[in-house]
Structure 1
Amino acid sequence: MTRRIAAARTAAVRMFLCLFLLASWVAAAQAAPPPQRLIIKYKNSLPLSARLRGADRGVWATPAARAGVQLARLRALHNGADLLRLSGRQLEGRELSALLTQLAADPNVEYVEEDHLLQLNFVPNDPRYNEQWDFFESVAGVNAPRAWDQATGSGIVVAVVDNGYRPHADLAGQIIPGYDFISDATIANDGNGRDPDPIDPGDGVAAGECGWLSKEQRSTWHGTHVSGTIAARSNNGLGVAGIAFNARVLMVRALGKCGGYMSDIADAVAWASGGHIDGVPDNANRARVINMSLGGQGMCDRTMQNAINTARGNGAVVVVAAGNSKADASYFNPASCSGVITVAAVNRSGARAAYSNYGPVVDIAAPGGEKTSVDDPNGILSTLNAGLSTPAEDSYAFYQGTSMATPHVAAVAALALSRNPALSPDRVESLLKRTARPFTASCDQCGFGIVDAAAAVASANANLGGVASCPTGYKQYDGVMSQYVAAYQPGVDGYVAAAGPQSVILIGDNGSNFNLTLEKKYQSPYYSSWIYAASSFTYGNRKELSYNGAAGSYRVHIDAYFGGGAYTLCVKSP
């Protein structure tokens, strides 16, 4: 009996030691991330000896204490800048940006920045990745490999409003079945109207089936191709890669044979973002990005604009194709709608593709390809189905069009949001434009440049100076403006306020510089006009003003004379 007790005690001790060692191993495996570090460069007017005597320690200490961290100097760099180490806790993106801004406010500081950790660029092992020039080539590619070390789309749902999808081995696990919004059974080509199955049965048509003189067309499997560009499985040793390969695609079918009704498409857009549609179960997987590689002639319809407004109000970025008619996109729907990111197409040389629409409503460009034959590798390679009319086996194909350019931008938006989910639709649009790569070939009226995934992801976390929400008691208005453009909030007619104090705060992206003016409506028996009440013209991306005045109508005038971007406006009135 005694031996049994002793043996039991020995076993218990061994078990304790094993658990202790296991816990120690787990703790080591879950060690804190590498410390955050800053690089601060002082102007030549402040000698190194002054810094070493600690003349700058107060400049470091006060902002650091506010952030709950300590700063310690490690060493000097090759250009005389100082390397500082943060300790105490890890700062999140906005906290770190705020600390950098406070340190940079010292007039003796030339610049201050994070000492970023760099990694090897991830390259997937998908066998046809080398044919996806649109991902990595320096002339017209989207610079995806350099973005993947920082973001892959995790946690983001991208809705593809299209003609459905075919199950494909390279999309396995990437698709969230959404809904089929096609209300006409003939167009749906699946035997019924609206249903919860967004599978694409094929959209091939015979000559004359879509109207007089309409041509015969094989099934396009268009939504399958678009989805592959966004989120094809990557590093799986199969086929191609997707740009946001850890995002998920919510497939929302709204087009079939001969196209799709705008009413169905509008319902699909609103539903994808979380809007309620009578007779349809609510969407449990709200999309943060909506891709619309579709369009038609005509100005933006009110129904479509209302759906887009709903989607944006629900926090979704709406990305649309400019169109393939080599014409002004201002006369195409939804390319001309407000609040969307309209995408033109460039070819492999970086010039505007011959078919691409253009014009003042175009925001940005992306690779759309330009082919001279069916298998021309200058097109965009993605997932497809081999069926001519009805479904067959999985395949891959080169396509061209602004339909192919649009998912590049939608996927980059997903990467940015996975890096910083707090970004609003306006701020996503702003950072995509601001970080776009300049054109190296002729692309007149193609927007701000070619979308750059790596630059957009870096900007998402490091370079935005806005706030997620206004202080308690303020009304919030978000917007985005190009340089030399003005806007009124909450609109040209303003708002009505009682007598008393008013407060206005405007915070823009870093690098933006808005003029801020509060205007009051003057009303006489004969005419009315808006007159000056208060203003803030100081340099920088943050402006504040206060005004104590009589009851009446007021509006806020924002002028992007010195530099545009996204902004958050906060207004408090009695």
Structure 2
Amino acid sequence: MKQTHSMHAAALTQRTAFWLALASLPVLAASAAMAGAQEPQSILETDRIIVKYRDVQPAANGSTVVVEGGSSARKARIDRAGQQFGVLVRESHALSNGAKVFRLDRRHNLAEVRSLANEMMMRDASIEYAEPDRIMTHSATATDPRFTDQWHYYDAVGGLRLPTAWDISTGTGVVVAVIDTGYRPHADLNGQILPGYDFISTAAIGNDGNGRDNDATDPGDGVTAGACGGGQPFSDQPSSWHGTHVAGTVAARTNNGAGVAGVAYNAKILPVRVLGKCGGYTSDIADAIIWASGGTVAGVPANPNKARVLNLSLGGGGACSATMQNAVNGARGRGAVVVAAAGNSAMNVSNASPANCAGVIAVAATGRTGGRARYSNFGTLVSVAAPGGDGASGVLSTLNSGRGAPLADTYAVYQGTSMAAPHVAGVAALMLALNTNLTPDVIAAQLKSTARAFPASCTGCGAGIVNARAAADWAKSSAAPVAVAESESNNTIATADPVTPVNASVTGNLGTATDTDYFRVDLPAGKTLKTSLSAVLATANYGLYLYNSAGKQLGVSLNGAGVADTITFANTSTSTSVLYLRVVYTSGGTGTSNGRYALSLTR
């Protein structure tokens, strides 16, 4: 993540002069000069402003309800504020929280728009807040040569400690929203992508000829030098396919004999498009956060695949806005974990939003040495760090080869906190797959407490480097076994009782000496099934068998009375294995009381 509109010192004079030429009042010139001194790292522009009235609340259907006050009188006060600054203000659209977005006649420096917002609030006491609709961007710098291995997962010094975590969890059943540039269909993402949404409300930014729609595919975001205003970017920029790269890190297909692996490769990706040419507006991103987490957004169909984890590999300079904070609060209230890239400006994260929003897990980037990447933001608001690449080492993931429009599938090495964040989002998915009851605060706390110490200098990088295995171990231990009762008749493979929880405690009984009980378990690729059978009556003796879907015996345990029978089976194939556990009578008690047993399963 990087603010591609950020101003370098060499361009400060030129860009300030540009805004001075547009300014119609001396006060605007003074504001622009002041902004240059206060925000040398991130001078942005916007042509939109967000206004929230105190008595306007969202209705249940996502529309807005005005409790009191005349809209024409309010618009007149808005217009007079604009006239004070020589700016024409037109109403654009409403947000999910009842706020309204107003469009300005042209782009203005953020300081000018803040001054306009303050003027609006001074003229109308019914305004709860007014703020610039800031443009946020992504950034990931490709490195050369391309690495063939994903060191960021396995490296003992700088890696995520991920491979052994896959013995415990692969993210099954968890939806991760990648709120980014959208996605490109990719062979290594086949079956991983859920229907998403395009929240870009401006056709020029969206580069797809329209506004919001249900097509989250990425048409490309390449721009020519200066196309984004104020001389930005300084040179032509090819399409980044940024969301596709992030999605691959979260959940690229794994054990498929090709390409790369994903951190939580059995999780699903919900692509939510908010960034296009020159970035994306805060208002669009806020609505996307609300929708992805299961909230209601006016004019947008309900999201049938509520995300438990939101990845925000994007950002801009300045404090967390009210619009963004409200969106984050709503998502967290719906149980979603919000993970955000800390930013790539090598500055304190307190000046990088949304990473500085309350309740967000802000992620700094480390290199292969385990030390802070030279570009990574830092500070007390950073929660944890994860591999993002530095120097000769980067993060390898899915991409598209097109420089403008999409072409063929490919892979590329990128660097950035944008690459570090999806590592953490993926680990959060591993944890939620083990215990769906974990709250955003608990996950944040445990990511910190299980993180490992930095092997190299990383001041202001949070609690440590996220440790996937340790986090998964904790999540597994926190999950109480799900109670499952045997249901008769389950005496054959065809009538086997399904056992779906990751951690289950099955209770059953052998009614007679000829009784037998079957249980079906679908074991995902890369997972290990561990089972233990104990008779309730100490003198009873039962046997435990394991079969595949064809009825071939894969394991057996026939210990004596009073000793638990155990079987462990690892699925080393590339697809889910259908397994059957069988409990049989050997000797001792039978019936509803004396024939009782307990069968535990973890996977």
| Whole-angstrom CA distance in 2 between matches of 1:385 and 1:331 | 32
| Whole-angstrom CA distance in 2 between matches of 1:224 and 1:306 | 27
C-alpha displacement at 1:213, in angstroms?
Answer: 1.3
Q: Does 1:311 align with 2:318?
A: no
Report the AA paired with residue 416 of structure 1.
Answer: M
Distance 1:328 1:340, change over 3 A: same
Equivalent residue runs for 1:184-263 within 5 Å: 184-215=202-233, 216-263=236-283
Runs (4+) of structure 1 exceeding 2 A deviation are: none
- Match in the other structure for 1:403: 418
Q: Does 1:346 align with 2:366?
A: yes
1:288-310 Cα deviation digits (max 9, x unpaired): 00000000100000000000011
Q: Does 1:155 align with 2:170?
A: no
- Match in the other structure for 2:195: 177
| Whole-angstrom CA distance in 2 between matches of 1:460 and 1:418 | 9
Equivalent residue runs for 1:312-331 within 5 Å: 312-331=332-351
Higher RCO (CA-CA < 8 Å; seq separation 6+): 2
Kept in 1, the 8 Å contact 2:364–2:461? The answer is yes
1:365-409 Cα deviation digits (max 9, x unpaired): 0000014xxxx4x11000000001110100000000000000000
C-alpha displacement at 1:130, in angstroms?
Answer: 6.1
1:461-483 Cα deviation digits (max 9, x unpaired): 21589xxxxxxxxxxxxxxxxxx
- Match in the other structure for 2:388: 368
Q: Does 1:391 align with 2:406?
A: yes
| Whole-angstrom CA distance in 1 between matches of 2:370 and 2:226 | 37
Kept in 2, the 8 Å contact 1:129–1:239? The answer is no
- Match in the other structure for 1:109: none
| Whole-angstrom CA distance in 2 between matches of 1:369 and 1:463 | 32
Match of 2:450 among 416, 426, 435: 435
| Whole-angstrom CA distance in 2 between matches of 1:236 and 1:141 | 22
With normalisation by structure 1, the TM-score equals 0.57
C-alpha displacement at 1:284, in angstroms?
Answer: 0.4
- Match in the other structure for 1:418: 433
Equivalent residue runs for 1:112-131 within 5 Å: 131=149
Distance 1:360 1:199, change over 3 A: same
Q: Does 1:356 align with 2:356?
A: no
Q: Secondary structure at the match of 1:176?
A: coil
Report the AA paired with residue 387 of structure 1.
Answer: G
- Match in the other structure for 2:587: none
| Whole-angstrom CA distance in 1 between matches of 2:479 and 2:189 | 33
C-alpha displacement at 1:190, in angstroms?
Answer: 0.3
Unaligned runs of 5+ in 1: 1-127, 466-574
- Match in the other structure for 1:379: 394
- Paired residues in the alignment total 333
| Whole-angstrom CA distance in 2 between matches of 1:247 and 1:129 | 25
| Whole-angstrom CA distance in 2 between matches of 1:462 and 1:238 | 33
Percent sequence identity over aligned pairs:
62
Kept in 2, the 8 Å contact 1:129–1:240? The answer is no
| Whole-angstrom CA distance in 2 between matches of 1:176 and 1:361 | 32
- Match in the other structure for 2:158: 140
| Whole-angstrom CA distance in 1 between matches of 2:148 and 2:416 | 21
1:141-196 Cα deviation digits (max 9, x unpaired): 11111100010000000000000000000000001121000000000000100000
Kept in 1, the 8 Å contact 2:147–2:396? The answer is no
| Whole-angstrom CA distance in 2 between matches of 1:462 and 1:156 | 18
With normalisation by structure 2, the TM-score equals 0.55
C-alpha displacement at 1:236, in angstroms?
Answer: 0.3
Q: Secondary structure at the match of 1:131?
A: coil
Kept in 1, the 8 Å contact 2:389–2:415? The answer is yes
Q: Secondary structure at the match of 2:363?
A: strand
- Match in the other structure for 2:464: 449
Q: Does 1:265 align with 2:285?
A: yes
Report the AA paired with residue 194 of structure 2.
Answer: I
Kept in 1, the 8 Å contact 2:203–2:209? The answer is yes
Unaligned runs of 5+ in 2: 1-145, 481-603
Distance 1:283 1:408, change over 3 A: same
| Whole-angstrom CA distance in 2 between matches of 1:227 and 1:460 | 23
| Whole-angstrom CA distance in 1 between matches of 2:230 and 2:335 | 42
1:413-467 Cα deviation digits (max 9, x unpaired): 00000011110000000110000010010000100000011000111121589xx
| Whole-angstrom CA distance in 2 between matches of 1:316 and 1:227 | 17
- Match in the other structure for 1:296: 316
Instruction: Quote the RMSD (CA, aligned, Å).
Output: 1.3
| Whole-angstrom CA distance in 2 between matches of 1:366 and 1:149 | 21
C-alpha displacement at 1:129, in angstroms?
Answer: 9.8
Q: Which moved more, 1:211-220 or 1:330-339?
A: 211-220
C-alpha displacement at 1:212, in angstroms?
Answer: 2.2
C-alpha displacement at 1:214, in angstroms?
Answer: 1.1
